[in-house]
Amino acid sequence: MVEIRLTNSKTRRKEAFAPLDLDNVRMYVCGPTVYDRAHLGNARPVVVFDVLYRLLRHVYGDGAVTYVRNFTDVDDKINATALARKEAGAAGTLEDLIRKRTEETIGWYHADMDALGTLRPTHEPRATGFIPQMVAMIGGLIESGHAYEAEGHVLFSVSSYPEYGALSGRTVEDMIAGARVEVAPYKRDPMDFVLWKPSTDDLPGWESPWGRGRPGWHIECSAMADELLGAAFDIHGGGIDLQFPHHENEIAQSCCARPGAGFASVWLHNEMLQVEGKKMSKSLGNFFTVRDLLDQGVPGEVIRFVFLGTHYRKPMDWTAERRFTAESKIDGYLATIEQFGDLAKAKSLPPMQAIVEALSDDLNTALALTGLDASARSTDGSQLARDMVFLGIHDWTSLEAALTDRSSSKAGLEALATRLGDARETAMISKDFGEVDALKSALVAAGVEVRMSKAGVELVPGPGFDPAKLEGLL
């Protein structure tokens, strides 16, 4: 069996991965708060942990891996978004508008992440479906002295957990100095965090021993992980921005709620995303969602390929150059598969060992991509197809569709090359190049490189080639 080595954020070392149960490898990844479209940075952990999910399934078996990624569907941002809709005249109660917004946003999220070639997790729990488990966990923390009630709130007592800060490597003093700590008179200590808070009558709320209210963010993941994966499981992941306070708080409340269980054995964190070397932000005008890119004609497989080009523990820089390089690479791979590959044969092949080994070494996706180049150079189109599917750049259905589109576009370009050649010959006699110039401009607008010489006309799909723009020319 292949040995997988992962860098554990908690120990700060690369370690051999040893599942607690070889027949049920368990992974929890923090999912989105569903109030708006997922931006490009939100998509990075989805792709990172999709690669790990695929690797685990390959090594231990498809049915031996349980992957949980949650939806936070009760949150102040969701409430604010629904309230803004209501104030703008939207029909329905605030609760109706909240439900409509979360359903709509989950649908968007699925569509956008599906476009990036990510597999759906085994379970996608919604926080609102696990309120009883949260209430029970909070009650247990109060009984054991790790939490206390104050003015309708329930707070976790950070001082009751001496190991607090071990994940992020910070002292409590450092965390107080560097964090936005909510100052509240009912807190015993500034670092104590909310497990339960009161709700007004017009906001979502549930009955509890501490009054009508709703859970704090951190307890949600602890309760869902506990219910679906058990008190101890293998891997917990998410973006580095969640390491403190979210993951630190998860560890504290989970380890105190289930003493001795240990919660997650391995913690993995991906680094943040930049755009053209700068932090993505609305103020800089470089903030965009996954849907923005898809609507601009950037294929999902291109976005994924760019992500795979950077190791998950390094900041990833989205640039126009990387986007066009990815488009060119994928187009070249498709050309190799079209000429030298057999999809029926490809489906029976195992992934290239070098790619499996690269991913097994702390998810070295950049090194794994070199395996695709090796297959393309050796003109092993069948192996190349198999490995593209293994890395999630295409699935079998989309790969077949891409090859069909490529064949159709190729035939269309050949016909247009003949038409442009004929028009040029006519223009050489009439000296009227209007048709030639118009056709050439339309081809360039569709992303086609036009090469004209004495030998004839050659049309080459370039970066950003859009076959749909050729339809009106044929």
Binding residues: 30, 221, 246, 250, 282
Write 288-296 long-range contacts (CB < 8 A, 24+).
Answer: 288/39, 288/40, 289/37, 289/38, 289/39, 289/40, 289/112, 290/37, 290/38, 290/39, 290/40, 290/42, 290/43, 290/112, 290/113, 290/115, 290/116, 291/37, 291/38, 291/108, 291/112, 293/40, 294/112, 294/115
- In DSSP terms, which residues pair with 13 in a beta bridge? 8
**Contact status, residue 474 vs residue 412, Cβ threshold 8 Å:** yes
User: According to DSSP H, which parts of 318-395 are helical?
Assistant: 320-340, 343-346, 353-360, 365-377, 381-390
CA distance 302 to 228: 34
CA distance 86 to 94: 7
> Six-digit token pair at 397?
């259905």
* Known binding positions for Zn(2+): 30, 221, 246, 250
**Contact status, residue 368 vs residue 388, Cβ threshold 8 Å:** no
**Contact status, residue 73 vs residue 34, Cβ threshold 8 Å:** yes
CA distance 9 to 382: 38
CA distance 132 to 138: 10
> Six-digit token pair at 31?
């999912």
Look up tokens 């909070």; give the residue: 138
Contacts of 89 (CB under 8 A, 6+ apart): none
CA distance 36 to 95: 17
Contacts of 50 (CB under 8 A, 6+ apart): 117, 118, 119, 392
* Known binding positions for ATP: 282
> Six-digit token pair at 219?
């307890």
